[in-house]
Structure 1
Amino acid sequence: MPDDDRTTGRQPQPGERPSDAAHRRAYPAAAPRSGYGYRTAGRRGAAVPPELLEDRTRRMSEFLMPAAVILAGVLIVIAFGLIITRAVRDDDTNAIPPVQPPALGDVPLNPPDQFPIPLPSASDSPSPSPSGTTTKPPERKENPSPAFAGSVSVARTGITAVVDLSNEGTRDWVHWGEQSTFSLERKAEGDFAILEGAPTAPRFRHGFSSQRFSWRGGSPVSNSDGTPTGIRTCGKGNGFTISAPASTSTRTLKIYVGALAGRGRLTAKLSTGGPAGGGSFEQRGNNLDTVAFVVTYRAPKDGKINVSWVTEDSFSSDCGGVALEAATLR
């Protein structure tokens, strides 16, 4: 056997004898490493083929790629769903509004201290006896007072010997019969407040009054120191009518009248309706007797007071009836 290191292919190391190097067992040369970066020897030193490594990598890719695609699709669907939901909420005008706070700011929507109200049990206990207190009945409302319909009152009074029409008739005054049967003397500035209605027949002028009527500032007769004249009629149903303004203020109309062998009836009514007033006066003899009627009235609104003085009964076939001398308004 050769004694150099070529038999074994190993050179002696420094300090080592050639015989020792020859007797050592030669180890096979290390296999070159693979260029893939993996270990080429298995547990027993066997090398892993590159084909197996490539197959393992391919299998993992086959699982990971579909999973990534499915996950991306799910995320896209969810994103579209959120976008559509947001758009529908923004466009829904009929959406239920959120709960608003109560009208009183101090009252919470959900009061924290709420307890269930206990319900009465269905026991057989007797019902409590009624208490001794009595319920006060509701107060009865009185009917509202009716609207004012007006007022009329008539009073009969005597006549003084001389009647000053200018002093008594502050609003207006009228005298009948100074000049003729149909003559009428009145206050020049009375604005024709007192008016006579259509005369009835028969109609006569008389001068039988026991009083004297005087005036100043009249028309068409400006002054009179006192006259006993007037007008009269005879026969049942005949008489005179006069009128004067009425308002919500109280006014007084005074009428100087007479009767001769007859009975007269005076009636006063408001043109606005409502109550009426009246009175009567009679003289059974053939001499003229006089009297004054005072009519006090007030209307619910502007209107007139209408007064009639009519022969209610005649006691003589020789022209028994009623007479009219003057009237004043204040």
Structure 2
Amino acid sequence: MPDDDRTTGRQPQPGGRPSDRGPRRPAPAGGLRPGYGYRTAGRRGAAVPPELLEGRSRRLSEFLMPAAVILAGVLVVIAFGFIVSRAVRDDDKAAIPPVQPPALGDVPLNPPDQQFPIPLPSASDSPSPTDSPSPTPGRSSSAPPRKSSPPPFRGSVSIARTGIPGTVDLTAEGTRDWVHWGEQSTFSLERKDGGGFAILEGPPTAPRFRHGFSPQRFAWRGGSPVDHSDGTPTGIRTCGKGNGFTISAPAGTSSRTLKLYVGALAGRGRLTAKLSTGGPSATSSFEERGTNLDTVAFVVTYRAPKDAKINLSWVTEDSFNSDCGGVALQAATLR
């Protein structure tokens, strides 16, 4: 590096530094500027030329000043935005509710660019270890249960007991048919003229007797072979266990009622009603232990699955008198 010409007072040479072309101030005594120590340090010393030091400080200041101005402006903008947002948030806190996170298990709203919702599994949809695998859609593991059809109607039969008025009007009660036993003899049978023989008695059993001590009277009009009666206490009876009477009447799909007027004397009788088509049946009993005739009316209501017959048997179930304990039969009506 050439010597500093400021120590010699030489004129600048052509092509020298611009700073060397002007008039120079006289050098201080001793030949060197104080504070630099450039000439005293020699060519290999650690001193830096003052021009370089001045250039470095000038360039650093050129960068630091704009940067400081920009940083200050950014800080001012950030502070202003923070103040404005805080004020807006305080003023519109009631108008603009804060965004709440979705409740547990809720499905979030679809984004605007999504055309179809994406199903999200919920906790209830996840199978547990105890759950059995569901069958594949369209393939049932077993055939669906068939609806059980009700069983076919086999008929119905019921028996009820009722008291007997002092006089029974067989014509008014038996709209379909009526029958009275024992008006003229043991085997006499008085019935409705034009009744079509709907009520029939089966084969008689022995012994068989006519009686005339019923506590009620039976009256009719338009009968055959006896046209009318103002009231008769007559009927028939039998004695001994196992003996009795059998009666039949038509049955159909509509409900019908057969009313049977019977009695017992020193015996217990049992009434059984069955449909000729089978199916349900009904029974009832009545007894009188004394030697006087006691009477009762059995009301048999029945219905058959098709046209058929109702069969009744009124039989001595037990006899309480070795002489002649048994059951009695007076009249029957059908409607």
Shorter-chain TM-score: which interval?
A: 0.5 to 0.7
- Contiguous gaps of at least 5 residues in structure 2: 1-125
Give the structure 2 partner of residue 160 of structure 1. 165
Among 160, 166, 169, the residue aligned to 2:174: 169
Task: Tell me whether 1:295 sits opposite 2:300 in the alignment.
Answer: yes
> In the aligned structure 2, how far is the partner of 1:312 from the partner of 1:272?
25
User: Secondary structure at 2:183's aligned position in 1?
Assistant: coil
**Post-superposition offset of 1:177:** 0.1
Q: Deviation string for 1:3-46 (max 9, x for gaps)?
A: xxxxxxxxxxxxxxxxxxxxxxxxxxxxxxxxxxxxxxxxxxxx
Q: Deviation string for 1:223-252 (max 9, x for gaps)?
A: 000000000000000000000000101000
User: Secondary structure at 1:285's aligned position in 2?
Assistant: coil
Among 223, 226, 231, the residue aligned to 1:226: 231
Task: Tell me whether 1:236 sits opposite 2:208 in the alignment.
Answer: no
Q: Deviation string for 1:195-240 (max 9, x for gaps)?
A: 0000000000001110000000000000000000000000000000
> In the aligned structure 2, how far is the partner of 1:254 from the partner of 1:309?
13
Give the structure 2 partner of residue 317 of structure 1. 322
> In the aligned structure 2, how far is the partner of 1:150 from the partner of 1:227?
36
> In the aligned structure 1, how far is the partner of 2:144 from the partner of 2:158?
37
AA matched with 1:241 = T
Give the structure 2 partner of residue 178 of structure 1. 183
**Post-superposition offset of 1:153:** 0.4
> In the aligned structure 2, how far is the partner of 1:289 from the partner of 1:319?
15
> In the aligned structure 2, how far is the partner of 1:146 from the partner of 1:278?
24
Among 179, 194, 209, the residue aligned to 1:204: 209
Give the structure 2 partner of residue 258 of structure 1. 263
TM-score (norm 1): 0.59
AA matched with 1:258 = G
> In the aligned structure 1, how far is the partner of 2:134 from the partner of 2:327?
70
> In the aligned structure 1, how far is the partner of 2:144 from the partner of 2:288?
58
- Contiguous gaps of at least 5 residues in structure 1: 1-128
Aligned length: 202
Give the structure 1 partner of residue 251 of structure 2. 246
Give the structure 2 partner of residue 12 of structure 1. none
Among 154, 157, 167, the residue aligned to 1:149: 154
Among 288, 292, 295, the residue aligned to 1:283: 288
